[in-house]
Structure 1
Amino acid sequence: MSDSLGICVATGWDSSASLSEINTYRHLFQTAHLAILEQLSGPNAGAYSNEADIYEPDFQTTFFGPNYAKLTQIKAKYDPEDLFIVAAGVGSERWDEFGMCRV
């Protein structure tokens, strides 16, 4: 049995904010605020994927942990053409940021 704690962190911006301003807020959270939470939680704390950041740089570990390799094998077996893709999902690192072109 392990202890668990859930924390929901949110930020907001004016409805007139530009995409550039919104991305600045997102970048600040991802590079500064999230690092503090990760220090507090320790390694491999994970994330609740229904409220996941699709820009999470290490989504494989954060969202899927030690299961990612097996999930990749399963996806290759049942979806060998990568017909089903989703941002920050299994195999999405093989696609561009829009999910339109293989990289």
Structure 2
Amino acid sequence: MSTKTLKMPEKRSGFIRLVEQVGHKIPDPVVIFMFLFALTAVVSVLMGGYTFQSIGSDGGTIEYSIKNMMASENVRWMFDNAILKNWLASYSRDIN
């Protein structure tokens, strides 16, 4: 009866080991996306309605306003465009 010896992977050192350790500690990309979406929603609620100006390429001023993402019309827009047009449209193509 012969015995086979299995080689254990080498312990990594240096930069690759650091990258591997950091990679194991960061959360799943979906969790990061949900956290950043919630943070953006809270910031837009707090800053909604503020306006600011910048100088355009022609030298004139351009006025911008921050929209509250949680206002009913904006939530409806997100639902209509993000969910209905993107996800459900691709789902119906996959079925057919």
Instruction: Tell me the TM-score normalized by structure 1.
Output: 0.29
Instruction: Tell me the TM-score normalized by structure 2.
Output: 0.31
Query: Which one has the bigger helix percentage?
Result: 2
Decide which structure has the larger Cα Rg and report it. 2
